[in-house]
Amino acid sequence: MSIDLKDYIIDVPDFPKKGVIFKDITPVIQSSQAFNYAIDRLAAWAATIKPELIAGIESRGFLFGAALARDLRLGMTVIRKKGKLPRKCATVIAPNEYAVEHFEMHEDSVARGQRVLIIDDLIATGSSSVSAINLVKLLNGHVVGFGAAVELSFLKGVEAIRAAHPDVPVLSLVRY
C-alpha cells in the first residue's frame, strides 16, 4: 500500500516567525496508516545500510527514531540541545534557520566505529543535519545514513549535507 504523506502534512503560516510556513507533521504520527507507512519506508532503507544504532535529533526526530529503532530491534541514542543531558557530553555548534544552538550527546552514547543512522523529522538548510553528523563522528561513530520524513528541497539542505559529508547517504520521504 502506498500513501502520500503530503496528505497528512499541514502548512502553518507564520510559525515560528512571520514569513515562515511550518510543515506540521503531527497528523502523520497521529495516523496509524501514515506513521506505519513512514516507518516501513525508513526501515526498508535502513536494512540496505545496516545500522547498529539509531540516533534521533531533538525533538521530533525522537518520534521517528524511536519507532524505527523498535522496528529494527536496535538501540537508540539522542542528540539534544545543550543543557538537556545529565552526564558528560560532547558538544558541537548547531546553527539552524532561526538561531545558533549547540547539539550534545553523552560521551558514551556511540561506540567507536559503531554504524549509526541519524533520523530527524525535517531537512531544511541542512545545517542541523551536518552538525548532527559532525557530533556522531566526533564520538568516533560511523554515520551510515541520514533520514528524514520531510525535505524542503528549495532550501538545498540535502546538497549541504552531501557537500559536507559526501560519504553519508540521505533519504527524505517527502520533498517540497
pLDDT digits (tens, 9 = 90+) for 20-38: 999 999 999 999 999 999 9
* Distance from the first to the final alpha carbon of the chain: 22
Residue 140 lies in a domain: yes
Is residue 10 scored above 80 in pLDDT?
Answer: yes
Residue 34 lies in a domain: no
Is the distance from CB of 126 to CB of 159 less than 8 angstroms?
yes
Per-residue cell: 4 = 502520500
Instruction: Assign 98 a pLDDT band (cuts: 50, 70, 90).
Output: confident
Residue 12 lies in a domain: no
Q: Which residues pair with residue 151 across a beta bridge?
A: 123, 175
Is this prediction's pTM over 0.85? Answer: yes
Per-residue cell: 13 = 503560516
- What is the pLDDT at residue 100? 83
Residue 58 lies in a domain: yes
Mean pLDDT of 98-121: 95
Residue 22 lies in a domain: no
Instruction: Assign 75 a pLDDT band (cuts: 50, 70, 90).
Output: very high
Residue 35 lies in a domain: no
Residue 11 lies in a domain: no
CATH code for position 122: 3.40.50.2020
* Number of domains present in the structure of the chain: 1
Instruction: Give the structural domain span for 60.
Output: 41-175
